[in-house]
């Protein structure tokens, strides 16, 4: 279920539209399983996932002026482990990503569809937040895009490992991401058991599909029969949300 986390921000408009572009098989899987797939962070193509900017790393090496001399060695040792632990922790963090936009995105269709028979599931931030029905804590918020050579990830509420997962390089700014985050670390006496078995490629989180989906948009290049098929599948699973042909399929009026 959704859990509030202070270090995760919210969009100004809680009813802003969010989109998830997918092929037809994944859409049917969503309806059938009533689950969203979360991918393990170290399985993403971007090697920067879960990493910290240069400024944050450099600050770890500086001693705060208020630390007594007898505690300085311990502080240095503690901060020196943050990098290796952050890299290993990516195996325990799982993400499900959405695109914030009031309209369809031609770029997202191109980026995420491998063929003509795909759909875009349209929800809202508030619907997505309310849709999770499982026992795991699901954290949700928009991604902030920064320069990893110059900017810093601030810590307004103290150190939070997951802050790194809500930031990406400016090169990905076109994605305009909302992220749902789940952690699945195993702990022994309060400490992460690094040798524990972690889930291979990802995990599924149960959702109320009727709450989650506001509408479905069929790919702009999809044939007419595919629109009818999607409508039929939606009706077969007992849902009544509207299925649209993509507006990008409409021709100009000169």
> Per the domain annotation, does 8 fall within a domain?
no
Query: Which among 163, 126, 168 is positioned nearest to 2, based on CA atoms?
Result: 126
Could you give the number of structural domains in the chain?
1
Residue 167 lies in a domain: yes
The answer to the question of residue 82 being in a domain is: yes
The residue behind tokens 């009813």 is 15
User: Is the separation of the CB atoms in 98 and 120 below 8 Å?
Assistant: no
Instruction: Give me the residues paired with residue 177 across strands.
Output: 99
Q: How far is CA 254 from the centre of its chain?
A: 40
Does 10 reside within a domain? no
**pLDDT tens digits, the chain, 254 residues: what are they?**
999 998 899 999 999 999 999 999 999 999 999 999 999 999 999 999 999 999 998 888 777 767 777 776 666 677 777 788 889 899 999 999 999 999 999 999 988 888 888 999 999 999 999 999 999 999 999 999 999 999 999 988 778 899 999 999 999 999 999 999 999 877 766 666 666 666 777 899 999 999 999 999 999 989 999 999 999 999 999 999 999 999 887 878 88
The whole-angstrom separation of Cα 109 and Cα 100 is 14
Q: Which domain holds residue 39?
A: 17-249
| 74 found inside a domain | yes
- Phi-psi sector, 45: left (phi>0), alpha (psi -120 to 50), beta: alpha
Contact 246, 220 (CB under 8 A): yes
- Coil, strand or helix at 107: helix
pLDDT score for 147: 97
Contact in structure between 151 and 55 (CB atoms under 8 Å): yes
Indicate whether 125 belongs to any domain.
Answer: yes
Largest CA distance in the chain: 77
42 in any annotated domain: yes
Residue 254 lies in a domain: no
């Amino acid at each position: 279920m959704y859990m509030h986390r202070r270090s995760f921000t919210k969009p100004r408009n809680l009813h802003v539209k969010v989109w998830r572009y997918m092929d037809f098989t994944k859409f049917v899987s969503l309806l059938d399983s009533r689950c969203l797939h979360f991918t393990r962070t170290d399985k993403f193509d971007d090697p920067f996932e879960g990493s910290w900017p240069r400024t944050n790393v450099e600050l770890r090496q500086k001693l705060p002026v208020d630390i007594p001399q007898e505690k300085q060695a311990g502080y240095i040792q503690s901060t020196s482990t943050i990098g290796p632990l952050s890299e290993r922790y990516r195996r325990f963090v799982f993400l499900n990503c959405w695109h914030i936009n009031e309209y369809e995105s031609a770029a997202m269709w191109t980026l995420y569809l491998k063929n003509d028979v795909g759909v875009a599931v349209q929800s809202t931030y508030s619907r997505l937040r309310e849709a999770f029905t499982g026992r795991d804590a699901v954290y949700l918020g928009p991604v902030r895009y920064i320069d990893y050579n110059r900017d810093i990830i601030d810590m307004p509420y103290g150190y939070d490992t997951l802050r790194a997962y809500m930031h990406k390089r400016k090169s990905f700014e076109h994605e305009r991401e909302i992220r749902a985050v789940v952690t699945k670390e195993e702990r022994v006496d309060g400490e992460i058991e690094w040798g524990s078995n972690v889930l291979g490629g990802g995990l599924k989180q149960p959702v109320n599909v009727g709450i989650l989906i506001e509408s479905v948009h069929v790919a702009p290049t999809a044939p007419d029969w595919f629109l009818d098929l999607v409508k039929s599948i939606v009706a077969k699973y007992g849902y009544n949300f509207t299925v649209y042909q993509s507006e990008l399929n409409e021709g100009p009026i000169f």
